[in-house]
Structures are given as structure tokens and as C-alpha cells.
Structure 1
Amino acid sequence: MAETDDGGSLLAISDLHVGYPENRSIVEGLRPRTPKDWLLVAGDVGDTVADVEWALRLLTGRFARVVWSPGNHELWTPPGDPVTLRGVARYAHLVELCRELGVVTPEDPYPVWEGPGGPVTVAPLMLLYDHSWRPDGFDTPEAALAEAYRTGIVCTDEVLLHPDPYESRSAWCAARVAETARRLAERDPALPTVLMNHWPLVRDVTRVLRYPIFAQWCGTDATADWHVRFAAAAAVYGHLHIPRTTWHDGVRFEEVSVGYPREWRTRRVPPGRLRQILPPPDGVPPTAW
């Protein structure tokens, strides 16, 4: 790793899924390398509000700053969760919880990382998806969704992620994209950014999915140029459960997920390895971790 001169590192992880006991143990073992380290958490901490609170409370007690973007699992309204809020109201509840814990959210002013590799504006995003990443031959969202149901490859969001008060998740996505683009355009243009969103910003990274039809729940064409448009030094995401480093238009993209136990047990890299975003690590591999 690149030298940090004890000024700390900007680290990242996602898809903690602490409802699994094995994953909860991984989170219990997460530690900063220095007292100045920040941690970016790119969504899917857990399915219930209690699980999200447990994990973020633990992490804020260890890292100098924790920055969070929600994933689809946080936005679910699962059976058995005492918090029955849906859609925008559920997201707002999570934002208030994070603020009580001192966690930076997509609704807060973007913090500036002043440590090694900085200064950069760290921008946590909440953008969702709009079914624009459809397989070839399916011209409409309705056709792609019908094919997903026919093949049995359907995201649980269709049952548990409610868009209230929007008419659809795509409409909620459009509103989030418009508001977030406005905020990013108003940032200090002299500083590069680190863009963190649970869903990837570019479709290319989904080409490795075992089931390509699942990409319709993974992002939106509206963000295809954001890493260039908003001067990203790096883009951080999760959701795919395929941790790796790729490059797009010269920008480093880091998929930082832990994933489910059945997935990480098969990997050669131990789970829970924090990814260094800044300063840029030496010798970053261009393929899977």
C-alpha cells in the first residue's frame, strides 16, 4: 500500500449483511489502521433498522469518520422489522438515525478528505436504478421484467422495496439523479471527488454477472458519465457481490462488497478486507480480488 505518513487512509467496504452471524463477526473484527482513518460504507449493512444501527454504532466508535450510502436492503420493509416505514419515509428515518450516530449521509454536506491523496470531496450518493440496463432484445422495462419473471431471476426489491410516495422505483431514481446532479454541480470545482453509491455508476461493470438480466436492478444510464463529469478520483460501489478493481475512462472503480457467506467462502481473499481508496494503493490489480 502507498505510504500514508500516519495521516490516515480513506477506506471502504459494503454489503456487510450483518443479519448473517458470520458477517456480524466480520464487522466485529473491522479495525482502522490509524486513528485518522475514515470508512466509507457503500450500503447493504443489514435488512432491519436495528441491524443497521448496531453496525454503524460499532464502526463510528472505531473510525475517525464513517460515511454511508444506503443499499437496497436498507430500503426494504421486511416482515418482522418493528420499523414498518416504507420508501422515502424509511430512508429519512435511516438518515436521522445516522445523524444521531455522527455518520455522514447523502443528505448532508459533502465532507472533504484532507489526508493523504487529498483534498477530495467525498460524495455519498443515493440513486437507485431505473431498469434502463436491459438485456439486448428487450426494448421496454416491462418486457425485461417479464423475462426476469419467466426465468426466475427476480430481485427481492420487487416485493420489499417500496417507492412511496413515488409511483415507481424508476420515478424515485429520476428524482434522486436530478437532485444529486444539482448538488454535485454546486461543489467546489477545484477539488476532485470520490463518488460512493451502492449501485454502480456505469453498466460495463455488470457485464460479468452470471445472470445478465439482473442488471436491470443495478443502476441507470443517467450516471454513465458522472465519473468524468464530476472529476472522480475514484468511484466506490457494491451491490454486485463481485469485489474487484476496474478502470473506466482512466478512473478507478472499486467494488468493495463482503457479500453473503456462501459467496465469500469461495474466494481466495479473506472476507472483511477494507479497500484503500486514498491514498491510491500501489499496484492495484485490474481484475477480481
Structure 2
Amino acid sequence: MAQTEPGPELMRVFTVSDLHVDYDENDQWVAGLSTADYVDDLLILAGDVSDMPQRLGRTLERLALRFRTLIYLPGNHELWVVRDRTHEDSFAKFDEVRRIAHESGAVQQVWHGAGLRIVPLYGWYDFSFGEPSRDLRLAWTDFRACRWPEGMTPAMITDAFLARNPTPVAAAHLATITVSHFLPRIDVMPDFIPPAKRIVYPVLGTRKLEAQLRAWRPVTHVYGHSHVNRDQVIDGVRYVNNAFGYPGETRIAAKRLLCLHET
């Protein structure tokens, strides 16, 4: 079901992703956000806050208090179960993350308000951007930190998350923004990425997300995960990644809120 909110006459839509508040300086940045400047505004938070439930809840509560509306969907880090061993698998962790988000005041369904429609889309990666190398399989934390039902392949995991996404509904009177944590297409990655760093491309997302988001006819798609800030138009859709990233990622991440839209 969609959540409808009339909203104020003047509203700004901000976005950020990949806050990684397990790092103290990232956590302090969130705590230091103004409690007065954004009270009429909306924040899209596109995943990767923390794998620890208590830290996740605290961060979402802080942001929900600062913004009129907080729209959130989890990333891959939220589904790690190695430090928080209370879950049968990462699907069970996903369910708890959704519960925490709801209790913290975050919106997780299609949102309508102020002439806008914002559509969160779940996903994973299915190697449609390339086959992972042996080095990637050894280095990528998800392969150790997530746990899935026996026999599930990455393609099956991806399909399970995509199946949770809402069915597109026509709404010509609304400007639509779709949101995912994972990349919907690999060509959003810039040419300056060196070949050695492209080893991670197979675990960045899935082409199936691109098909889902296009069905909503968005003006903008927001994503995260890559930590490479981008703002570009491809085939008529604006693709935006405003990742906060790890503390040392000062060249590829701006470490600020980005205003996407004003009414």
C-alpha cells in the first residue's frame, strides 16, 4: 500500500546513502545534523547504515526526528549476520531490519505527497554485470557475512527481493523518483574507475532492477552501494548516487546531503 502525505507547501527532497555509522566520525556527522533546518523536508536514505540493529535503529530515529519524512530501504550491510547471530538467515535479518525501520518512523513503501511519488525498490546482485573472480569471492564480505537458505544462488536471492517490489501504477500527474540500494545498470559507473577496482562490478547490482524502475517512468533514480558519487542522465532518466562512504573516501564521496528536488 502507498503512504500519502499532504506535505508542506515548500518541501525539499534530500538523499544520502552508505552512512556506515559503525565508524565514529560518520556517526558523529549524523548526530550533528541540524534539528531545525529540515523539519519540512524529506530524506531518501538508500541503504548501508549498519549491520548492528541497535545502531541502525538509533540512526533512523535521529534522522526521523530531523526530517518531516524519512524514506529508507536496507543495503547489503544490514543483512550481515556474523556479528549479530540471533537470526536464522539474512532473510530473517531483513524482516527485523524492516521492523526496526517501521518502529523508528521510517517509510518503506511507495510514498505520495507534494506532487511527488517515491518508490523504494529492493534488490541484490545476480552477476549480470560480470562473473565474480576467485579473488572477489574471497574478499567480498557478503559471501561470509550473509547467510541464505541452502541451495539459493545469487540469482535466486535477487529474484526473491525483486518479487517484494510493488507493481507499477500509472500516475501521470506525479513526478516519480525510484530508489534502490543496488545499481540497476553498470554504465552508471564512471570511466575513471581503474581496471583493478572493477573487480567488484559483479556484486554491484542487477539489470533486472533497471527493467523494474523503468516501468514506473521515473524522472530520477536514486541508488547507493558503489560509494562513487554520480549525477547523470541516461536514456531520459537522472541517476543519482550520493554516498557518504567510509571515512577515507574523500575523493569519490562528497559527504553531504544532496538536494534532489524542491516544491
Bin for the TM-score computed over the shorter chain: 0.7 to 0.9
Match of 1:220 among 206, 209, 216: 206
Number of the residue aligned with 2:259 = 276
Q: Judging changes above 3 Å, is the alpha-carbon distance between structure 1 residues 90 and 150 closer, same or farther for their aligned structure 2 residues?
A: closer
Number of the residue aligned with 2:67 = 63
Once superposed, which parts of structure 1, at least 4 consecutive aligned residues long, lie more than 6 Å away? none
Number of the residue aligned with 2:17 = 14
Amino acid at match of 1:246: Q
How far apart, CA to CA, are the structure 1 residues paired with 2:152 and 2:214? 31
Number of the residue aligned with 1:199 = 182
How far apart, CA to CA, are the structure 2 residues paired with 1:226 and 1:189? 17
How far apart, CA to CA, are the structure 2 residues paired with 1:127 and 1:151? 20
- 1:122 aligns to 2:118 (yes or no): yes
Amino acid at match of 2:146: L
Percent identity between the two aligned chains = 27
- Larger deviation: 162-171 or 24-33? 162-171
Shift of 1:82: 5.6
- Structure 2, gaps ≥5 residues long: 1-7
Task: Say whether the 8 Å CA contact 1:203–1:224 is kept in structure 2.
Answer: no
Q: Judging changes above 3 Å, is the alpha-carbon distance between structure 1 residues 188 and 234 closer, same or farther for their aligned structure 2 residues?
A: same
Q: TM-score, normalised by structure 1?
A: 0.79
Amino acid at match of 1:192: A
Shift of 1:33: 3.4
Shift of 1:92: 0.6
Task: Say whether the 8 Å CA contact 1:43–1:238 is kept in structure 2.
Answer: yes
Number of the residue aligned with 2:228 = 242
Amino acid at match of 1:74: E
Shift of 1:224: 2.9
Q: TM-score, normalised by structure 2?
A: 0.86
How far apart, CA to CA, are the structure 2 residues paired with 1:205 and 1:8? 28
Task: Say whether the 8 Å CA contact 1:234–1:251 is kept in structure 2.
Answer: yes
- Structure 1, gaps ≥5 residues long: 135-143, 281-289
Number of the residue aligned with 2:30 = 27
Task: Say whether the 8 Å CA contact 2:122–2:161 is kept in structure 1.
Answer: yes
Aligned length: 252
Q: Judging changes above 3 Å, is the alpha-carbon distance between structure 1 residues 268 and 127 closer, same or farther for their aligned structure 2 residues?
A: closer
Task: Say whether the 8 Å CA contact 2:229–2:253 is kept in structure 1.
Answer: no
Q: Judging changes above 3 Å, is the alpha-carbon distance between structure 1 residues 173 and 19 closer, same or farther for their aligned structure 2 residues?
A: same
Task: Say whether the 8 Å CA contact 2:230–2:242 is kept in structure 1.
Answer: yes
- Larger deviation: 243-252 or 31-40? 31-40
Q: Judging changes above 3 Å, is the alpha-carbon distance between structure 1 residues 166 and 196 closer, same or farther for their aligned structure 2 residues?
A: farther
How far apart, CA to CA, are the structure 2 residues paired with 1:104 and 1:259? 23
Q: Judging changes above 3 Å, is the alpha-carbon distance between structure 1 residues 152 and 221 closer, same or farther for their aligned structure 2 residues?
A: closer
Shift of 1:221: 1.6
Number of the residue aligned with 2:128 = 132
